[in-house]
Structure 1
Amino acid sequence: MRKNRKSKSTEIFPLKIDQLEPMLQNKFDSNNDLSFSVYEHQNKKIAVFYIPHLVAPDKVENLLLKSLLESNSDWTATAILNNIPLSFGQEISKLEEILTELVSGKVFIYIEDEDTAVNYMMLNVEKRSLSKAETETVVIGPQVAFTESIVTNINILRWRIRTPDLVLEKIMVGKRYPREVRLVYVKSVANETDVNTMRQRIQELDIDEIEDNNVLMQFIEDSSVTIFPQFYSTELPDRASYAITKGRVGVLMENSPNAILAPSTIFSFFESTEDIYMRWNLGSFLRILRFVAMFISITLTPLYVAGVTYHFETIPTQLLVSVGQSRASVPFPPIFEAIFLELMIELLREAGARLPTKVGQTIGIVGGVVVGTAAVQAGITSNILIIFITISALASFTSPSYLMGTTIRLLRFPMILLAGMLGIIGIMFGLSFLIIHLLRITSLGRPYLSPIYPFRWMDLNKALFRLPQQFQGKRFVSYRPKELLRFKKRKGMEKKDIDE
C-alpha cells in the first residue's frame, strides 16, 4: 500500500534536564539500553544521552566529551555545532525524531533550557569484509561483491563512478523500523521520468518495515502477479556501475547486500559482465547460447511428453524403437513420469542449496546418480527421459540471474501439463500465452520485451548480441537516457601507430 502519511510529533524543549531524563527512560522502560549522563560546565547542566551498543564509545569520549568539557566556552546549541570539530551535526526539538535518531546510532547533547538538542552520528557499524560474489559468480572481471553495510556499498560505487554527476539520494523507508535507502543515478544521463517514478514509489510506501532490497523490489515493481522479475537484483558492484552509467536507476538499502537496477528488460537477465570483458564474438556466442538454453529448458521435456503421448510420427524410427524399449516397463503415463522427475530434480537442487556447501555438493551429485539409477532399474521412469530432464535442468542454470533461472524452471511444469493434455497444440498454446504475457509486462513503465517490442534495431547489438566496442557509441535507446551518445563512431574506430 502506498500512502504518504506525516507523523505527528511535538516539540518538547525547552525544559529541565531532571524532566528530560524520566521522559526518555519511560520510552525505553523495557530495557536499560539508554545511557543518560549529566555534566556541569560553566554553571550549566549538560546532558549527553545515547544507546551504548550502537555507538563507538571511543568516539564519544575522545571526540565529543573531551571537546565539550575541557573547553572554556560558554556552550549553547549553536556554539556546539560551530565549534566542536565534528561533521553531520543537527539540531532537533521533537521527541519522536529524537527517539528515531537514538536507535540509529546518534549521540545527543542537550544544554538545560535550550530550545534544541544537538546530535552527531557516531554509529559503531558491525560489518563483514569485502568478499567474492556467491550467486553471480564470474570468471573474468572484478570479483568483489556488495556487503550489508550501505556505507561500504556507497564507497564502492563512488570509487567506480568517479563523477560529480553521481547522485545518491537518501530516502527513509519504514514508519516503525526505518531503513536508509539510496536512490543512485547519474544526473546528466538518467531519464528524469524513471528517477521520479522510482522516487515516488519508494517515498509513498506506508509500511512498518522493509527487511531487504529484494522485499522492497516486490513492493515497487509494476506488477505483483507475474512470476517474471521486473527489476534486476545484483550483488556485483561492476554490474551496478555499468548499468547506472548507461542511464538506469539503482537502489541501495541498509543491511542489504544487493542493488536494484531499473528499468530492466527480459534480455537484461541473460547478460553477464563477462560478456563485456570478453572479445565481442565470444561474448555474443555466450549470450546467444543462454537464450537458446532458456528455450530448450522450457520446451524440451514438454516436447518429449507430447511426442511420446500423441505424436509418435514425429519421432525418427530408430529413436522410436529405443523410446519404446525404455518405456516398456514403465507403468505411468509420460506426463506423470516427467513431473515426478522434475520434482525430484527440484528437491535435489533445493537440498543442495540449503545444506552446508561441502555437504550440499555431495548430496546433489550422489543423490542425482543414485535416485536416477534406482528409478530406471525399478521401472518408474525411462532412461531417455532422464537425459531430457538433465539437459533441461542444466539449461536453466545458464541464466546469470538466480530469479530468472527459478522462473524458467517453474515454467516447465505448466508446459508439461499442457503437452500431456493437448500435445503440440498445448505447447503452442502455452508459448503463445507466454509471449502475450511478456508483451503486457513493463519495468518502471518501459516495455519488458524491448528492443524486440517495440522494435529498435539500434539496441539489438546490446540486448541479443555484441558488436566490437568501436560500434558501441550509443547508449541503450529503450531506456531513453538524457545523453544518448557515448562517443562518436568515427573517433572510436580511429587507430594510430606511434609514428603517426
Structure 2
Amino acid sequence: MKLNKGEKEHTAGSNQNLLERLSKSNDFVHEHTSFREEEPFWISYYRTLISSDILHKDVLPYLQEKLSLEQLKSKIPVQEIIISNDADEIIQSIMHGSLAIQIHQFDEECLLINIANTKFRDVSVPMMESSAVGPQVGFIEELDTNINLIRKRLPVPELLVKEMKVGKLSKTKVAVLYMDGIADPENVNTVVQRIKDIQYDHIQDSSYIASMIEDNSNSLFPQSISTERSDRVAAGLTEGKIIIAVDGSPNLIILPVTFVESFIAMEDYSYSWIIGNFFRLLRFTAFFISTFVSPMYVAIMTYHYELIPAKLLDTLVGSRSAVPFPPFLEALFLELMIEMVKEAGIRLPFKIGQSLGVVGGIVIGQAVVEAGLTSNVLLILVGLGTLASYTSPVYKFSNTIRFIKFPVIFLAQWFGLVGVFFCYHFTTVHLLRLTSLGRPYIGEYPLRKTSIQDLWVRLPFSMQKDNPINLRPQKKRKSTGTGKNSEPLNDFYE
C-alpha cells in the first residue's frame, strides 16, 4: 500500500521521535553506513546488547550494495530476521538485542536482525541440589539453553512450550512446558492464565512467578518445587506436571506438587528401592526432629519434669545448674545464634563463609557452654535439629523447617506439651486445607494406590506402573514394558 504525502510526513515524524527517544541513552547507536547521505543504509542498535563480531562479520559486508530489504533478508546469514513497520515491535526488538536497518533514515519499514549478545556461564553441576551419584547437569540463566537441556532428555514432539512475556518494564520471557497427552489441560490453562494475570513491573527471578501464582501466598509451605536439576524436571514432565522456566533464572518451577515430594531426592532412584526408602524415611523423620526437638526440651524442662527418667534427670539438672536463664530463653538464644551463623555464612564470600561455619559451630558453641549461657545437652539437641533441617533436598522447604520451630518454642513456653500438640494439629489442618494448583497439597488423602508406589515409599520400578492420580494425567499408566499393562509411546489416551 502506497502512502500519500501527508502519511509519509507523519510516518517520518513518528520515526524521528522514536529515534530521539532511543538516542537519549549513550549506548544507542544510529549511524549511516555510507558517506553519501542519499545512499543506503541506516542502522540502529544498542552496542551493549548486540554481538559486535556478528555485526562486523555477517551483517556489515552485505550493506555495501544497493539492495531492497527483502533482498538483504535473503542474503544475510543470520537465522532470526524479520521486516516490520510496527513501532512497538521495532522498539522491543532493539531492546532485546536486534539490529534495525532502514534504507533511508526515517523509513517506516525496518529490517530487524537478532544479533543479541548471548554470553552466559557454561552448564555446570547443580549448586543447591548436589548429589553423590546420578546426573550432574544443572540449569543456567539462559532460557533457550534450559529448554535445550530438557529436550535432550525428552526428544519427543509431545513436549510443548508456550512462551509469553511478563513484567511491564522487564518484559521477561517466561516459558510453560508440559507433555501433550499426559498433562491435564486444566492444569496447563490454569498456569498460563495465572501468569498472564500478573501485573508487575519487574520479574527478576522464577521465585517471583512462583509467589504470584501459588494458591496461598500466606502459607509457610512452598506450593511448588524450585529446582535446577534437569532430571527432576524431566521426571515431573513425564508424570503430567507443569514446568515454568524464566529467562534469567537457573531455577525452574514444578507444579503441582505434594508435601511428601519435598523429601524426595533424585538420588533415591540411583540406589536399590530398599536403600532409597531408608533415606526417604530418614528425611521425613528429620523434619519432625528439627521442628520439635527444641520445643520439646523447653516444654519438658519447664512443666513436665516427671516425664524425664531419673538417671537422665540428674544429667540435665547438672548440665543446667550454672545456666542463669530459663529453658525458653536458653533455647531461643542458642537457636537465634545458630541461625545468624548460618545466615552470615551464606552472605559472606564462599571461602570466608566456610571458615565462619566451622568457627561458629565449634568455637562459639563451646565458648557459650563454658560461659554458662547454655547447657551441653541443649547444644547437642540444637545441633541435631540444625543438621536435620538440611536433609530436605528442596532448599525452600528447608527454610520452612528453619522458621517453623520458633512459634512452636513460644507455644511450648506458654502451654507446655499442650502448646506443642496444638501447633502440630494446627499445621496438620493447614496442610489438609492447602492446595497446589488447585490439587490437594496432601496428595495422599484420601489414600490412593499411587501414593504407595512412589511417594511415601518407593517400590521397585517394575511395580511403579501408574502416574500419580492427584495430577489427573491423561495417560494413566507408565510404559514399563511390552506386556499387556504397558502403553505405546504414541497412545496417550486411555
TM-score, normalised to structure 1's length?
A: 0.90
| 8 Å CA contact 2:33, 2:63 repeated in 1 | no
DSSP 3-state at the match of 2:41 = strand
Give me the whole-angstrom Cα distance separating, in 2, the residues matched to 1:216 and 1:449: 22
Deviation track 1:255-291 (CA, whole Å, cap 9, x = no partner) reads 1111011111111111111011221111111011100
Do the aligned partners of 1:183 and 1:252 also contact (CA within 8 Å) in 2? yes
Deviation at 1:90, TM superposition (A): 2.5
Summarize deviations over 1:343-384 as a string: whole Å, max 9, x none.
011011111222222222221122222222222222211111
Question: Over aligned residues, Cα RMSD in angstroms?
Answer: 2.5
Tell me if the contact between 1:184 and 1:249 (Cα under 8 Å) persists in the aligned partners. yes
Q: Does 2:29 correspond to 1:35?
A: yes
1:24 matched residue in structure 2? 18
- Give deviations 1:292-335, integer Å, cap 9, x for gaps: 11011111111111111111111111001111111112221111
Q: Distance in 1 between matches of 2:75 and 2:357?
A: 63
SS in 2 for 1:459: helix
Aligned to 1:5: none
SS at match of 2:235: helix
On the 8 A contact 1:15/1:114 being kept in 2, the answer is: no
Query: Paired residue for 1:53?
Result: 48
**Separation of aligned partners in 1, 2:20 and 2:344:** 48
SS at structure 2 position matched to 1:143: coil
Counting only pairs closer than 5 Å after superposition, residues 287-436 of structure 1 correspond to structure 2 as 287-436=280-429
Could you tell me which amino acid in structure 2 is paired with residue 301 of structure 1?
S
Give the C-alpha shift of residue 128 in structure 1.
Answer: 0.8
- The amino acid of 2:93's aligned partner reads E
* Contact 1:283/1:466, CA 8 A, preserved across alignment: yes
The letter for the 1-side match of 2:447 is: F
Specify whether residues 439 and 16 from structure 1 end up closer, same or farther in structure 2 by C-alpha distance, changes over 3 A only.
same
8 Å contact 1:13–1:93 — kept in the other structure? no
SS in 1 for 2:31: strand
Identical pairs, percent: 36
Residue 488 (structure 1) shift: 5.3
Q: 1:269 aligns with which of 253, 262, 266?
A: 262
Question: Per the alignment, in what secondary structure is the counterpart of residue 91 of structure 1?
Answer: strand
Does the C-alpha gap of structure 1 residues 356 and 143 become closer, same or farther in structure 2, counting only changes over 3 Å? same
Cα deviations across residues 63-100 of structure 1 (Å, max 9, x unaligned)? 33333544x65x1x455445655433233323233222
1:116-149 deviation digits (Å, cap 9, x = unpaired):
3221211111211122221111111111211111
Report the 3-state secondary structure (helix = DSSP H, G, I; strand = E; otherwise coil) of the residue aligned with 1:48. Answer: strand
In structure 2, do the counterparts of structure 1 residues 18 and 199 end up closer, same or farther at CA, with 3 Å as the change threshold? closer
Preserved contact between residue 296 and residue 395 of structure 1 (Cα < 8 Å): yes
**2:245 is matched by which residue type in structure 1?**
L
Partner of 1:471: 463
Residue pair 1:471, 1:492 contacting (<8 A) in 2 also: no
Matches within 5 A, 1:36-435: 36-39=30-33, 45-70=40-65, 73=67, 75=68, 77-81=69-73, 84-112=76-104, 116-435=109-428
Deviations 1:151-183 (A, max 9, x none): 221211121111111112111111122111111
- Distance change >3 Å, CA 14–CA 62, structure 1 → 2: farther
For the structure 1 residues 128 and 381, does the alpha-carbon distance in structure 2 shift closer, same or farther, using more than 3 Å as the test?
Answer: same
2:33, 2:40 within 8 Å by CA — same for their partners in 1?
A: yes
Aligned length: 479
Does the CA-based 8 Å contact 1:248-1:263 persist in structure 2?
yes
Q: 1:454 to 1:400 in 2, by over 3 A?
A: same
Contact 1:438 1:448 in 2 (8 A): yes
Q: State the secondary structure of the residue aligned to 1:409.
A: helix
Please state how far the C-alpha of 1:454 moved relative to its aligned partner.
3.0
Q: What secondary structure sits across from 1:144 in the alignment?
A: coil
Q: Distance in 2 between matches of 1:44 and 1:163?
A: 49
Letter in 2 for 1:64: V
> 1:181-200: per-residue Cα shift (whole Å, max 9, x none)?
11111112111111111111
* Distance in 2 separating the partners of 1:168 and 1:493: 30
CA distance in structure 2 between the partners assigned to 1:18 and 1:59 by the alignment: 29
Helix, strand or coil at the partner of 1:308: helix
Q: Which residue of 2 aligns with 1:460?
A: 452
| Distance in 2 (alpha carbons) for counterparts of 1:355 and 1:488 | 48
Rounded to whole Å, the distance in 2 between the matches of 1:236 and 1:34 is 38
Query: Structure 1 residues 492 and 329 mapped into 2: Cα distance closer, same or farther (>3 Å)?
Result: farther
Q: Is the 8 A contact 1:13 1:114 kept in 2?
A: no
SS in 2 for 1:30: coil
- The SS at the match of 1:207 is coil
Could you state the TM-score of these two structures normalised by the residue count of structure 2?
0.91
SS in 2 for 1:256: coil
Distance 1:85 1:326 in 2: 77
Unaligned 5+ residue runs, structure 2? 1-5, 487-494
Preserved contact between residue 210 and residue 216 of structure 1 (Cα < 8 Å):
yes
Change (3 A) 1:14 1:207: farther
SS at match of 2:24: coil
- Kindly provide the CA deviation profile for residues 224-267 of structure 1, in whole angstroms up to 9, marking residues without a partner as x: 11111111101111111111122111111111111011111111
| Stretch deviating more after TM superposition (23-32 or 47-56) | 23-32
**1:484 aligned partner:** 476
AA aligned to 1:486 is K
Tell me how far apart the structure 2 counterparts of residues 463 and 24 of structure 1 sit (CA, whole Å): 57
Q: Mean Cα displacement is larger for which, 21-30 or 55-64?
A: 21-30
Q: Shift of residue 49 of structure 1?
A: 1.4
The structure-2 alpha-carbon separation of the partners of 1:491 and 1:248, relative to structure 1 and needing over 3 Å to count, comes to: same
Rounded Cα–Cα distance in structure 1 between residues aligned with 2:14 and 2:288 = 67
Secondary structure of residue in 2 paired with 1:257: coil
Contact 1:471/1:489 (<8 A) preserved: no
Structure 1: runs of 5 or more not aligned: 1-11, 495-500
Q: In structure 2, the residue corresponding to 1:322 is in which secondary structure?
A: helix
How far apart, in 1, do the equivalents of 2:441 and 2:284 lie?
16
Distance 1:29 1:81 in 2: 26
Question: Which AA in structure 2 matches 1:106?
Answer: S
Deviation, 1:218, is 1.0
Output the CA distance in 2 between the equivalents of 1:37 and 1:489. Answer: 64
Which of 315-324 and 356-365 deviates more? 356-365
Structure 1 residue 114: Cα displacement: 6.1
Q: Deviation of residue 446 (structure 1)?
A: 0.8
Distance 1:13 1:411, change over 3 A: farther
